[in-house]
């Protein structure tokens, strides 16, 4: 990012909020403390006024990288051109916050699902933790629907969940699959298609949801796997 953009972010920063964010993102000590609504508003402004020029330069701060991802989502461009920018951005993802905010901004996927489905397959099959998380969160945000639910469930069990943040993303996505499509998802729980940690995290996330009946939660709790 250029100096002008960096200065604008500094002006919107809050020290205490930055300290709070740092406590949620282990290993990050370059956080300014700019709130998400302000980042989104600025990203929309830059996407409109500067276009891809706003993406030039390197990032120093956490918020700059998050802003970069949001700009990519808000730019007016074709799907293929955007996918090229997404492919360039994914290697910059090194924490859950940037991953999840980036994915949620890629609304173009709703109108280009077939193309995006093909695009995310290498990330679903990746050996890298945050590429795996990117694939899982894209499934969560755009592919839990009638057309893709079967494929989404099958892809979830393919993702390597040895790493914590990929496991959490798969558990979160699988829980949402159960909430929206319980009959299709339940066999993946009863047959224990996920590793132990992911399986138990998925059940916990389902039980934390207000959208699931208490009786079903009690039955699911019985399916948790004891970990010694």
Tokens 């995310």 -> residue: 120
Residue 104 and residue 69 share a domain: no
Domain that holds residue 30: 1-76
* Residues 120, 69 share a domain: no
pTM assigned to the model: 0.96
For residues 227 and 123, membership in a common domain is answered with yes
- Say which residues have a Cβ less than 8 Å from residue 114's Cβ, sequence separation at least 6: none
In this structure, the answer to whether residues 112 and 12 fall within a common structural domain is: no
Residue from 136, 218, 138 nearest 171 by CA? 136
In terms of domains, do 101 and 64 share one?
no
pLDDT of amino acid 27: 82
62-79: per-residue pLDDT in tens? 999 999 999 999 999 999
pLDDT for residue 192 is more than 60: yes
70 and 117 share one domain: no
Same domain, 35 and 109: no
CA 104 to centroid of chain Cα atoms: 7
Of 197, 196, 205, 158, the closest CA to residue 177 belongs to: 205
Q: Is residue 88 part of a domain?
A: no
What's the confidence (pLDDT) of residue 75? 98
CA distances (Å), origin 100, targets 138, 199, 202: 9, 21, 18
CA–CA dist 5, 1 (Å, integer)? 6
Q: Does the pLDDT of residue 194 top 80, yes or no?
A: yes
State the total domains in the chain: 2
Q: Tokens representing 216? A: 């079903």
Please report the pLDDT score of residue 26 as a whole number: 83
């Amino acid at each position: 990012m250029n100096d002008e953009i960096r200065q604008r972010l500094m002006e919107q920063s809050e020290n205490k909020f930055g300290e709070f964010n740092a406590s949620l993102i282990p290993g990050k000590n370059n956080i300014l403390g700019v709130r998400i609504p302000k980042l989104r508003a600025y990203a929309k402004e830059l996407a409109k006024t500067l276009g891809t020029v706003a993406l030039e330069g390197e990032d120093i701060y956490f918020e700059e990288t998050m802003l970069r991802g949001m700009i990519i989502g808000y730019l007016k461009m074709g799907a293929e051109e955007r996918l090229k920018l997404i492919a360039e951005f994914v290697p910059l993802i090194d924490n859950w916050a940037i991953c999840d905010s980036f994915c949620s901004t890629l609304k173009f996927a709703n109108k280009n699902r077939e193309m995006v489905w093909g695009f995310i397959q290498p990330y679903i099959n990746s050996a890298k933790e945050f590429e795996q998380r990117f694939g899982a969160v894209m499934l969560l945000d755009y592919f839990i629907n009638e057309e893709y639910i079967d494929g989404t469930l099958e892809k979830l069990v393919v993702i390597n969940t040895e790493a914590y943040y990929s496991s959490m993303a798969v558990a979160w996505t699988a829980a949402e699959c159960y909430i929206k499509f319980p009959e299709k998802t339940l066999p993946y729980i009863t047959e224990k298609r996920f590793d132990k940690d992911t399986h138990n995290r998925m059940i916990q996330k389902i039980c934390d949801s207000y959208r699931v009946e208490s009786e079903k939660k009690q039955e699911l709790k019985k399916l948790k796997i004891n970990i010694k």
